Amino acid sequence: MNWKKPLAWLALCSLLLLCFPAATQAAAGGKKVRLPDFPVLINGQTLDNSKLKYPFFVYKDITYLPLTWEYTRALAIALSFDQEKGLQLGMGGGQLSGGFIGWKKEAFRPDLSGSNPRNRAYTATMPDFPVTIGNSYIDNGSEPYPLLEWNDVTYLPLTWKYAHDALGLELIWDDTKGLNVIGGQQQVLGEIYYDDADYLYVYPELVTEPGRVGLKVKKSLEETPVWMTEEETEELRKRVEELQGKMAGEPASLETKDDGLYYQGLRLMTKEQMTVSPGEAGMAYIRELKGARFELPSGITLVSVEKITAYNIGRSLYEYRTFLILGKEVSEIMELQQPLDRIIANDDGSFWLVSNGMPTHGRIMTGTRRIALLDAKGNVRLANEALNESDIVVPGVGLKDPLTDDGKLLIYRSGKSNDGKFTPRDTQGYYWLDTGFNVSKADALDALAKEESSPDRPSLYKGVYMGSDRKFYLLRTKNNTIFNYSDNKTGRWYDYEFLATQ
């Protein structure tokens, strides 16, 4: 048998492999990708994929995002690369600053210098460097949807694991509009604080132009929110303050005497309670003592006292006491040594006393959202103790009467015990509460409760608002979204619709 010809052929093949190693590896590791047959949007802006210098691709039915400068900036993806660690991706890149007058949002301008015919064959390759996403090393070779490369640009698969969980992006699919990738958004909508028949009124989270102190949002959620004029804002402010005054009490005139603090001749606090020791650290002194009074139809007067102790280190200590006055008798409501934010009257002559919690360093202290029932005889019972619930919230009902026609109060329970250990319980969610402390689950609000307990919702008190139409509006704390839970309608807007761009 003649072995010379096969050996010569083998030698030629080996020589070709040595001469063209890169081409051989590319062919071996090539991944056939295609252009998407649906629209792709970045923060609501539709892209012309046929003209993009780096188009979006689809591989195994997953859309791939090109990690170019303009996309990572627009979506706030932090990207870095070095020879040792390779490619590192995380949250927080892009232009997420602002918060001062004169600041402008950087407009998104994709590179449209490309030409991407749909009938062309597109092949991507596997990157030959390490990849880390959100501090987790990616074994790219074993991933069902690996990162790819095309024309020297790395492409990221927009799976839920990478896009949402690791990079904080929001992926919205619409059968007509296609895939909308949302990220890097400045939160402009702050807190819903009032409503009327047509509008929701919202405090801004971010202001970059003078004179902008509030927005109004059409309840249909089909129109872009508009900044209110200073005249509109001032008129609404007076209306709100008037209603808040009725709800939060009127200023109480307090008198300081040698032996304590008095209200209309009745002593509320002793001298020791209203002063600080001369030897207390920090050169402490009482900066302010102020009170609010609530005149109840039952003949009971409640006086809430705020004591502010200032220290030379620039800090202040806020203390609250609530006193019940019936005739000439004064007693302190020990269950509410915190702000008294509103009083809700019941048909049986009792009252719900609501505290939205103790604020500290911009947050509400756990275990301080409290509700107490005050009966016509002056007896007080704390709902948190009766239900063994650390925090109970009357959802952001603004200035409206939250009681149902049969006298029940909607509450949100935290799902943690009231014994100071905050042990998890299976009670988290919305309930109806009556004056006998009987509760019934508000099953229709289970989905809303589930969203409220997600990491994206750090503050229930500022999130849910029950309008005068008794519909529930949820202001999501990212991406400027308001959800009408009752009608299953969503309004979503982009920061460039509110802010000046450059």
Tell me the range of 154-158, 192-196, 449-453 where mean pLDDT is highest.
154-158
The pLDDT value recorded for residue 466 is: 83
**pLDDT confidence bin for 195, thresholds 50/70/90:** very high
The pLDDT value recorded for residue 258 is: 92
DSSP letters for 411-456? EEE-SB-SSSS--B-TT-EEEEE-TT--EEE-GGGHHHHHHHTSTT
Instruction: Indicate the average pLDDT of the chain.
Output: 85
Grouping H, G, I as helix, E, B as strand and the rest as coil, residue 482 is strand
The pLDDT value recorded for residue 283 is: 76
CB count in 10 Å sphere of residue 129:
15
Is the predicted pLDDT of residue 424 greater than 80, yes or no? yes
The pLDDT value recorded for residue 463 is: 62
Is the predicted pLDDT of residue 401 greater than 80, yes or no? no
The pLDDT value recorded for residue 462 is: 53
DSSP letters for 241-255? HHHHHHHH-EEE--E
The pLDDT value recorded for residue 418 is: 93
pLDDT tens track for 295-345: 888 889 999 999 998 887 778 888 999 999 998 999 999 988 888 888 888
The pLDDT value recorded for residue 468 is: 84
Share of the chain above pLDDT 90, in %: 54
pLDDT top residue among 458 and 463: 463
> What average pLDDT does range 276-283 have in this prediction?
68
The pLDDT value recorded for residue 310 is: 87
**pLDDT confidence bin for 199, thresholds 50/70/90:** very high
Q: How far apart are alpha carbons 43 and 45 in whole angstroms? A: 6
The pLDDT value recorded for residue 285 is: 85
Share of the chain above pLDDT 70, in %: 86
Is the predicted pLDDT of residue 419 greater than 60, yes or no? yes
Residue closest to 188 by CA, chosen among 103, 250, 289, 292: 103
DSSP state of 501: B
pLDDT tens track for 32-90: 999 999 999 999 999 999 999 999 999 999 999 999 999 999 999 999 998 889 999 99
The pLDDT value recorded for residue 242 is: 78
3-state helix, strand, coil in the chain (%, to 5): 20, 35, 45
> What average pLDDT does range 163-187 have in this prediction?
94
Q: How far apart are alpha carbons 333 and 331 in whole angstroms? A: 7
Strands, E assignment, 214-273 = 215-218, 226-227, 250-252, 255-257, 260-263, 266-270
**pLDDT confidence bin for 218, thresholds 50/70/90:** very high
Is the predicted pLDDT of residue 15 greater than 50, yes or no? no
Two tokens, residue 193: 């604080």
**pLDDT confidence bin for 482, thresholds 50/70/90:** very high
Q: How far apart are alpha carbons 213 and 206 in whole angstroms? A: 9
pLDDT tens track for 465-477: 888 888 888 887 7
Residues 6+ apart with CB under 8 A from 4: none
Q: How far apart are alpha carbons 477 and 483 in whole angstroms? A: 11
The pLDDT value recorded for residue 245 is: 67
The pLDDT value recorded for residue 25 is: 38
**pLDDT confidence bin for 137, thresholds 50/70/90:** very high
The pLDDT value recorded for residue 141 is: 92
Of 145-159, 265-279, 368-382, the least confident: 265-279
Of 46-55, 246-255, 263-272, 429-438, the least confident: 246-255
**pLDDT confidence bin for 2, thresholds 50/70/90:** very low
Q: Left if phi > 0, otherwise alpha if psi is -120 to 50, otherwise beta: which for 179?
A: beta
Is the predicted pLDDT of residue 497 greater than 60, yes or no? yes
**pLDDT confidence bin for 430, thresholds 50/70/90:** confident
Is the predicted pLDDT of residue 111 greater than 90, yes or no? yes
Q: How far apart are alpha carbons 442 and 436 in whole angstroms? A: 17
The pLDDT value recorded for residue 374 is: 93
Please, are residues 133 and 162 in contact by the beta-carbon 8 Å criterion?
Answer: yes
Please, are residues 402 and 344 in contact by the beta-carbon 8 Å criterion?
Answer: yes
Strands, E assignment, 85-139 = 86-91, 122-124, 131-133, 136-138
pLDDT top residue among 477 and 364: 364
Is the predicted pLDDT of residue 461 greater than 60, yes or no? no
Is the predicted pLDDT of residue 244 greater than 80, yes or no? no
**pLDDT confidence bin for 13, thresholds 50/70/90:** very low
Is the predicted pLDDT of residue 398 greater than 70, yes or no? no
The full set of domain ranges for the chain reads 28-182, 250-332, 341-470
Q: Left if phi > 0, otherwise alpha if psi is -120 to 50, otherwise beta: which for 386?
A: alpha
The torsion angles phi and psi of 188, rounded to 5 degrees, stand at -100, -40
The pLDDT value recorded for residue 502 is: 80
Is the predicted pLDDT of residue 17 greater than 50, yes or no? no
**pLDDT confidence bin for 7, thresholds 50/70/90:** very low
The pLDDT value recorded for residue 456 is: 45
